[in-house]
Each structure stands twice: as structure tokens, then as C-alpha cells.
Amino acid sequence: MNEKILTDTVARLVTPPKGILAIDEGTKTCAGRFEKLGVPNTEEKRREYRELLITAPGIEQFISGYILFDETIRQKAKNGVTFTSILQSKGIEIGIKVDAGPLDFTDHPGEKVTSGLEGLSERLKEYKKLGATFAKWRAVYTIGEAVPTAACMKKNAEIFVKYVELCQEEGIVPIVEPEILMDGDHSLEKCYEVTSVNLQVVFDALKAAKVFLPGLILKTNMILPGKDSKVAVFNREIAQSTVRCLKEKVPAEIGGIVFLSGGQKDEDAVINLDLMHQSLIGPLPWPLSFSYSRAIQNPVLRTWGQNPGQVTRAQMLLVAAARNCSLASVGKYQHEDFKKLSRHPQ
């Protein structure tokens, strides 16, 4: 393991004011989003949409890395240039989703563990040859009656350890993504409790395995009430709760933290990140930025889906959304009504 390669890659990914754009949606996810817009879910249409995202002029001012899907890392633009070459020419790091998705956790109804460790070492070697410098592995946890259990948290933490070890052996920065889902009617306080316990379990396992903490990035949910919650929660409460939880549970020596947008309204994801930086009491021990998918892509996909010929317009929306996230990552996002905004029940 070359620690300098890992820390150099981490620095390029999380140095302010940039963040990561996740375009690692699998075929099934694309199908759901495309069908709503009447777009055929073909490989060519997926390639066409991804080319729009990857070739957007000026996106490199705000985005440090793209997380790709297996299909995407192998695709080319219409002119025959590989997507990876285009990203490299912009100075953008190439990431790759390497987990194979969640499977039912045996004897634990309603709980999931993430699959994909089998053959991962070989896949990482191949992705590295294709240009990947970082990877992502996601585990999901639902808040409900008696879940998530300690057993589920422990099992996913053990899997995270193996994934991190394999990535770091190849000089690939691992992003660890333990996501507490917004599904349900739980309170902000319950999300705080579950996230806090789970982060403790994950980092206890990583520390016990003696992985190189400065050479990894945490991708996490914000502290949010469930989407079916009936209680309005102000953005500032979300921001303060999230920072407090992370400062309590995440080791100071990790490379950085990025957020997923996780089903929030697009602007809430931006405002909450902005407020985390505006309301800080004392410095943070790690960079705190974004790794959004829908919060950046939503207006782009709608515009392109309604009129695939409006590539320039869609790319302008992409860059504008990325710029807003970039500003939020340093506490400089401005909104005329943002002090009045709160996250109300859906």
C-alpha cells in the first residue's frame, strides 16, 4: 500500500471548494428515472445522457471526481473518445461503484447486507487500468421497529473493512457509504441515535483492522427526519445535528466527509450543507463537502428527457447546480429566502 498515493488522491477529491458528482446509477435505477420522462432505457440512451454529464464545459471548476457505473467506465463519447480520457483531460478523478447492491440479511427480516466482495480484487485491478483512482461501497439501513439491529450493523462493518483493505492495497481510495435511509416516519432525534451508533460500529471495525484512515473518505447521510414524519424541522436543526453527530463519532484523521443527498429536496441538500459551514463553532477536523447525484442531476435529467436536443441548456443547468453545491461546501451559498426555509413534511 502506497499511503502517499492515497492521501494525494483524497486531497484532490476533497480540497475546497469542490465535491463529487455521483453518476453511478445502475440499469434498473436508470430505467425508473428514464421511464418517468418517456425516455427508452437503452444502452445508447444511457450513453448519450452520460456524455452530456461528462462533457459539460466548466464542470471541473466545481467537481473533483465522478463516480461511474461499470457500464459507464467502459463507454465512449460519440466522437470515439473514452469517457475516462475526457475526465482525465479535465483533471477530474475517476471513481467507480464496486458493490453489487444489497441482499436480504438471513434471519433478519427487513434488513440488508451489501454484496460484491467476491472477485472484487480482480475487478479493482481492472478498474485501475481503466483509470479509476477511487471507489464507492454502499450499505443501507432502515429505521423501524427493532431495526437496524446490532448484528446487521456489525456484518456491514465487517464487509466495509474487507472492501477498504482491498481498495487500499491497489492504491484506490475507498469511499465508505453507510446510509441511514429516509424511509419511514422516524424523528430527527431517532436518525441521530441510529446514525451515531452505526458510525461508531463502522469506525471501531476499521480501526481494529488498522486500515489507513487518512486514505479513505466517508460518504454519509445527514441527520434527517423520515420522509413520512409529520413534524417540520428547520434546516438549521438538521445542519447542527449533523455536525454534532459527525464530530462525536468520526475520527479526526480520516481523509474527508461527503454527503449524499438521500431523497431530500434538491435545494434542501444545498442549504443544509451551507448551514453546516455557516454555523460552525470552531474548525472541523476534516473537509466536509458533497457527493450528490439527484440533487445535482434532477433539473438536468428533466430538461434533457423532455427535449434531448437541448444538450447545451441541460449542461448549463448541471454546471449551475454544481456551482451552488460548491458554494455551499464553503458556506457561501445565497438564497433570497433561505433564512425562512424549513424542511416540512413531504
Judge whether 188 and 237 are in contact, CB under 8 Å. yes
Phi-psi region of 257 (alpha: psi -120 to 50; beta: other; left: phi over 0): beta
CA 222, distance to chain mean position in Å, is 11
pLDDT given at position 345 = 39
Residue 318: partners with Cβ closer than 8 Å, 6 or more residues away: 52, 53, 56, 59, 296, 297, 300
* Rounded CA separation 75/43 (Å): 10
Instruction: Tell whether omega for the bond before 299 is within 30 degrees of 0, i.e. cis.
Output: no
Query: Would residue 177 show up in a list of annotated catalytic residues for this protein?
Result: yes
Distance of CA 156 to CAs 45, 116, 132, 215, Å? 34, 12, 24, 20
Establish whether the linkage from the previous residue to 148 is cis, with ω within 30° of 0: yes
Bridge partners of residue 136, in order along the sequence: 97, 175
Domain ranges of the chain: 3-343
Backbone angles phi, psi at 211, to 5 degrees: -70, 165
- Report yes or no: 222 and 272 within 8 Å, Cβ to Cβ: yes
Q: What is the pLDDT of residue 342?
A: 42
Which of the following is catalytic: 155, 219, 237, 249?
Answer: 219
Residue 104 contacts residue 143 (beta carbons within 8 Å): no
Provide the CATH topology of domain 3-343: TIM Barrel (3.20.20)
Q: What whole-number distance in Å separates Cα of residue 45 and Cα of residue 191? A: 38
Provide the pLDDT for residue 343. Answer: 43
pTM metric for this prediction? 0.95
Residue with cell 420522509: 227
Active-site residue flag, 45: no
| List of the chain residues with pLDDT < 50 | 337-346
Active-site residue, selected from the candidate residues 136, 177, 237, 249: 177
* pLDDT for the residue 37: 87
pLDDT tens per residue across span 165-198: 999 999 999 999 999 999 999 999 999 999 999 9
Cβ–Cβ < 8 Å for 217, 289: no
Q: List Cβ neighbours of 119 (8 Å cut-off, separation of 6 or more).
A: none
Q: What CA–CA distance (Å, rounded) separates 195 from 193? A: 6
Is 249 strand, coil or helix? helix
pLDDT digits (tens, 9 = 90+) for 292-337: 999 999 999 999 999 999 999 999 999 999 999 999 999 999 865 4
Query: In this predicted structure, what is the pLDDT of residue 339?
Result: 43
